[in-house]
Amino acid sequence: MSATPRLWLAALAALLGLLLAGPAPAQDGPLSPPDTSSPRATLQSFLHNFHEATRRWYHGETAALADVPLGRALSTLDLSGVPEANRAERSVELAFQLQGILQRIELPPEDQVPDAAAVAADGITSWRIPDTELVISRQADGPMADRFLFSQETVTRLPLFFARVHDLPVLPSEMAIPGAYDAFRLGPGPGMPALLADWFKRLPPSAYRLVLDEPLWKWLALLAVLLLALPAVALLSWLGLRLDRRLAEAPPLLQLGQPLAALATLLLTLWLNYLSGQPLRLTGQALIGATVATEFAFFAAAAWLVFVVTNRAGAAIVHAQNRRPRSIDAQLIRLSFRLLGIFGILYIAVHAADKLGAPVGPLLAGIGVTGLAIALAVRPTMENVIAGFMLFADRPVRIGEFCQFGDKMGTVEEIGLRSTRIRGLDRTVITVPNADFSQMQIVNFTRRDQMLFNPTIALGYDTTTDQLRYILARIREMLIRHPRVLNDPARIRFAGYSAAALNLEVFAFVGSTDYAEFLGIREDLNLRIKEIVESSGARFALPIQRVRWSRDEEPDDTRIREIHAEVENWRKDMRLPFPDFAEHERHALADTLPFPPEGSTAYRRQDAAG
């Protein structure tokens, strides 16, 4: 075995003791921050503290002792440009790279690096290490204000700088530890179980060959993890859907298949993120790629969980309030929770972008501009959505109600986010965009408390005046007597003349809200009106030109004389029912007709005593 693999393998055991903790301030005491009052203090703080952390780890000292100087060293770096998603892991790698750079270049003498006195005297705000692009600058604001730190641009470009000097020899120094970064990069992390760590140490040198800047064994381990994780996610999704199908008839709160699957996927992505950063300890672009993938999967699972939970919460409220699933109130509740889920997903997306290092400000601005363009492109859809909310708010119709809209009639089956579906009289489904439906004149028949009976009776011009009075009186009497016709108003009036008829207008309300029942009552009233007209000897007017032949049946003159005599008797007895019946007569006549009529299957005889 060559010397280089032996050096790497010897360093692997020591690597197990390094903890990748965040900054832990202490210089003289455990809680005091590192000295960053000047470029000189910052440079010395980083070199001494990170060397101390590396030395203790490299020589196998306890990880707790290495944690404090490591935190001090990281506090000298401006890590604001490192994405929060992998900041803990990346910061240590960047510190190793900075140490490797400083060990390979000639640093200026200490007295040539500005100290606190020079900063105060000359107003120094930044200092660049000679012949490099490494800059230590004063923080203008934020929690680290007035401290000198390695600048954000310097920190983010450290991998590039380190690649340029990696092949240079490490300069002799009491703080130089050759091979420390390579040992850190090649070995497993502190979360690796001891048994596995020992097994990895016994791998052949070929397993430590660098492939895309990562040792081959890490790529193989990562591939094995993915081969287990991806089928696991698919299996969880399948099990969740299968469990929900089995619990389809259960209350929504007990339909836990998809929520449990989403939660399990969420935990799995957290474990994968931990695995890539700790036990496997990926570095460089491999760590960035793994972090982006696992964070994206995490937030996708979180969005899935939020969407499922909000939908189930809406369904649970509908179920708890015993609302009809297709009622407008139930749909409004579900729609509100669906929008809540969408807003939750948008928040998760913005938070994910911020955590992964994407600039949220330009992203939000871009979303705003894109949203405006999309809004203009989908303006009709947005109009339908807004109109849907107006239908939910005004409630001109509800699910299951029969209505007329435009020239069509039907029963409302669904009021959706974009359109309303109505079952027509011919049993076809009519889909009307909400924007159009909300602007129509909607006649809601279901909400009627009464139904109007309002025919016009056209009598021929050969009808005599007393015949007309007789017909008016008898129909008015019939309306008052009919048990399903409301007495106020129950009227018939001689409305006027048309080209071919004397028009009588009936205006009465039927005490029914069921349309089918109303049709039966209307039919009964029309038949009774026809009997009254025929019994009077009058004729209905025909809106056509008639040619009479000698064999046509002439009006019954005898019956006409009887009608005239009866009307004359009303006049003599002061009982002429014009303009209306007397109140005592109306009271005596009310509800005295048998209905349904005698002889029908639904006939019921009126109780004379009642």
The Cα 21–Cα 88 span in angstroms is 7
* Residue 610 in domain: no
Do 466 and 414 fall into the same domain?
no
Give the domain range for residue 91: 3-201
Q: Does residue 148 contact residue 116 with C-beta atoms inside 8 Å?
A: no
Of 74-88, 120-134, 244-258, 398-412, the least confident:
244-258
Of 54-58, 145-149, 601-605, the least confident:
601-605
* Residue 221 in domain: yes
Of 2-6, 198-202, 533-537, the least confident:
2-6
Do 457 and 416 fall into the same domain?
no
* Residue 603 in domain: no
Q: What is the CATH number of the domain that holds 495?
A: 3.30.70.100
Do 132 and 250 fall into the same domain?
no
Do 235 and 109 fall into the same domain?
no
Do 313 and 353 fall into the same domain?
yes
What distance, in Å, lies between the first and last C-alpha atoms of the chain? 118
Do 332 and 407 fall into the same domain?
no
Look at residue 504 in the predicted model and tell me its pLDDT: 93
Look at residue 31 in the predicted model and tell me its pLDDT: 65
* Residue 609 in domain: no
Tens-digit pLDDT profile for residues 358-391? 665 665 565 565 655 565 555 666 677 777 777 7
Q: Does residue 298 contact residue 304 with C-beta atoms inside 8 Å?
A: no
Look at residue 505 in the predicted model and tell me its pLDDT: 93
Task: Give the predicted TM-score (pTM) of the model.
Answer: 0.54
Look at residue 517 in the predicted model and tell me its pLDDT: 84
* Residue 74 in domain: yes
* Residue 597 in domain: no
Question: Is 2 a residue whose pLDDT tops 60?
Answer: no
Tens-digit pLDDT profile for residues 292-315? 888 888 888 888 888 888 887 777
Look at residue 61 in the predicted model and tell me its pLDDT: 55
Of 88-92, 139-143, 553-557, 567-571, the least confident:
553-557
Do 249 and 365 fall into the same domain?
yes
Q: Which two tokens stand for residue 357?
A: 């290092």
Kindly write down the DSSP assignment for every residue of 497-527, as one continuous string: E-SS-EEEEEEEEES---HHHHHHHHHHHHH
Do 91 and 177 fall into the same domain?
yes
* Residue 602 in domain: no
* Residue 472 in domain: yes
How many domains does the structure of the chain reveal? 4
Do 300 and 317 fall into the same domain?
yes
For the beta carbon of residue 167, count every other beta carbon within 10 angstroms.
7
Q: Any idea what DSSP says for residue 252? A: G
The Cα 95–Cα 77 span in angstroms is 8
Tens-digit pLDDT profile for residues 585-596? 777 778 788 877
Given 360, 377, 394, which residue is the final one in a domain?
Answer: 377
Do 197 and 63 fall into the same domain?
yes
Q: What is the CATH number of the domain that holds 427?
A: 2.30.30.60
Do 459 and 510 fall into the same domain?
yes
Kindly write down the DSSP assignment for every residue of 433-501, as one continuous string: EHHHHHHS-EEESTT-SSEEE--EEEE-TT--HHHHHHHHHHHHHHHHH-TTEEEEEEEEEEEEE-SS-
Of 176-185, 229-238, 536-545, the least confident:
176-185
Q: Does residue 148 contact residue 45 with C-beta atoms inside 8 Å?
A: no
Look at residue 507 in the predicted model and tell me its pLDDT: 92
Mean pLDDT of the chain: 78
Look at residue 21 in the predicted model and tell me its pLDDT: 32
Do 361 and 429 fall into the same domain?
no
Look at residue 373 in the predicted model and tell me its pLDDT: 57
Question: Is 518 a residue whose pLDDT tops 80?
Answer: yes
Of 203-217, 420-434, 457-471, the least confident:
203-217
Given 444, 464, 480, which residue is the final one in a domain?
Answer: 444
